[in-house]
Structure 1
Amino acid sequence: MIILNQRQQELLSWVQRDGHVTVEKLAAHFGVTYQTIRRDISLLAGEKLLHRMHGGASVLSSVENVAYNERQVLFSTEKQRIAKLVAEHIPNHASLFINLGTTTEEVAKALHNHRGLHVITNNLNVAAMMCDYPDCEVIVASGVMRPRDRGIIGEATIEFIRKFKVDYAIIGISSIENDGTLRDFDLREVRTSEAIIQQSRNVFLVADHSKFGRPALVELGHLSKITALFTDRPVSDEMAEVIAEAKTELFVAD
């Protein structure tokens, strides 16, 4: 696992957004030499975060997500800022769904001072963390555990989730397309998230800036299903219009 500097994180975000970018464009944008950009690309390719190609870099895959341990450190500061903002919008004594993802795990950390929470989760990392919080009840969904991130998915998970109706869902996503379509990589995970959305009175979507325009395989739905979107950077005018048309509130973390 590596810690990426700001330039490398922005480079990766650019590749994920556009699918391909040249060394020439990257060097001009960051004001560094071609050699520096090539070293960055080689480093990111070695960590299997993107694909190195002649003259530039391209997105790794639209069918497979970045490894969980790498996602834990990617844009970690941004995710913490998002999580802090989300926690400010969750009252004490609320009932919550928290699904899979490194950003939702940061939200779970940010809720450590809340009282009287009732949390239902298919994320064992979240469950292990929040079970030690004072006056917090944690209910773990049944189903099949996915070893790479300790997520619980499958038909049993969906059936379990449908037994509850909660105040807030905290969900993550891998991709927000330009038209507001939400996408992820695993069909079973998407179906679980669909059930969580259906069984929640308010749905909070947490997504750092790298998720906008990123390719991913499986459609989850549209931003119109989301009560509020929490991100770390101002969105483009075009995306702001899509969000407004979806009647989704937008919150940008400082």
Structure 2
Amino acid sequence: MNIRQMQILEVVRASGRASVEELSARLEVTPQTIRRDLAELADQGVLDRVHGGAILRSGASNIAYEERRRMNEGAKAAIGRACAAQIPDNSSVILNIGTTTEAVARALLRHRNLTVVTNNMNVANILAANESCEVLVAGGLLRRSDGGLVGDLTSEFMANFKTDYAIIGCSALDEDGDLLDFDMAEVRVSRAILRQARERWLVTDSAKLAQKAPIRVVSLGELDALFIDQPVPEALAKVCEGAGTRVIVATADP
């Protein structure tokens, strides 16, 4: 998937469908180029071609999110608890999109006097149950597949804050220590979030070490801590050690 195709996917995700003419004008390429891109994306299984354009593959987004939510639930819950244990009451936190950040939100339900900024509607709904928690939700394009808010408006919203902690997830973590993701709009928001915090933490389960994604977010060496459910490989451990990034291995309840 090239950069233009990722931009096409971003547009279609935002509204559920897009026409060839709209994409051609927006990306300043010929309709023939857009048709070729849509054909390739359809072959990859992420879009369905329709007359004059494309739509998100029927049901694929919601199913994918539910599958992600169920994967490694115990590990994510343990990571959420370990992360929340490091956050004192009376703190300010930014939580971004992801099923592991949602696990952190669930582990924060007993905290007192938190201010939480988020572009994740699921996080906001979870923390609505904590009456001692002030929740500020970003504006932006609603990504219906997972309740995420993305786009320039979201990044601009985040720039209004300076929080104690920024806690983000990722789609993949490679052995060079790079955090990777699929959605350019989400990546831009994640980078904006990281600029607005005194402490920057990554929460991810060890399955992400075996995943691949095309867009680099930041290096793990630019973050202050990694919360994960298994010890990291030696190469990644060296990256963390050299950069002073703490590695906290969360253990599930017996």
TM range (shorter): 0.7 to 0.9
Out of 46, 64, 69, the residue aligned to residue 67 of structure 1 is 64
Deviation at 1:163, TM superposition (A): 0.7
Deviation at 1:79, TM superposition (A): 0.3
For residue 121 of structure 1, what is the aligned residue in structure 2? Answer: 118
Out of 144, 162, 176, the residue aligned to residue 147 of structure 1 is 144
For residue 133 of structure 1, what is the aligned residue in structure 2? Answer: 130
Q: How far apart are the structure 1 equivalents of 2:185 and 2:89?
A: 31
Q: How far apart are the structure 2 equivalents of 1:170 and 1:124?
A: 15
Unaligned runs of 5+ in 1: 1-47, 49-63
AA in 2 matched with 1:162: A
Residues 83-114 of structure 1: CA distance to partner in whole angstroms, max 9, x if unpaired? 11001100001001000000000000000110
1:82 counterpart = 2:79: yes
For residue 109 of structure 1, what is the aligned residue in structure 2? Answer: 106
Q: How far apart are the structure 2 equivalents of 1:181 and 1:236?
A: 14
4+ residue runs over 6 A deviation: none
Question: Are the counterparts in 1 of residues 92 and 165 from structure 2 also a CA contact under 8 Å?
Answer: yes
For residue 161 of structure 2, what is the aligned residue in structure 1? Answer: 164
1:182 counterpart = 2:158: no
**Structure 1 SS opposite 2:165:** strand
Deviation at 1:236, TM superposition (A): 1.8
Deviation at 1:238, TM superposition (A): 2.0
Residues 132-177 of structure 1: CA distance to partner in whole angstroms, max 9, x if unpaired? 2021100000111000001000000000100111000111011111
For residue 189 of structure 2, what is the aligned residue in structure 1? Answer: 192
Taking only aligned residues, the RMSD between alpha carbons, in angstroms, comes to: 1.6
Deviation at 1:239, TM superposition (A): 1.7
Percent identity of paired positions between Structure 1 and Structure 2: 44
AA in 1 matched with 2:132: D
**Structure 2 SS opposite 1:212:** helix
Unaligned runs of 5+ in 2: 1-44, 46-60
Question: Are the counterparts in 1 of residues 109 and 129 from structure 2 also a CA contact under 8 Å?
Answer: no
For residue 96 of structure 2, what is the aligned residue in structure 1? Answer: 99
AA in 2 matched with 1:237: E
**Structure 1 SS opposite 2:202:** strand
**Structure 2 SS opposite 1:145:** strand
AA in 1 matched with 2:202: L
**Structure 1 SS opposite 2:239:** helix
Q: How far apart are the structure 2 equivalents of 1:75 and 1:241?
A: 26
**Structure 2 SS opposite 1:188:** helix
AA in 2 matched with 1:222: S
TM-score by length of 1: 0.73
For residue 205 of structure 2, what is the aligned residue in structure 1? Answer: 208
Out of 217, 236, 240, the residue aligned to residue 237 of structure 2 is 240
**Structure 2 SS opposite 1:67:** helix
Deviation at 1:213, TM superposition (A): 4.2
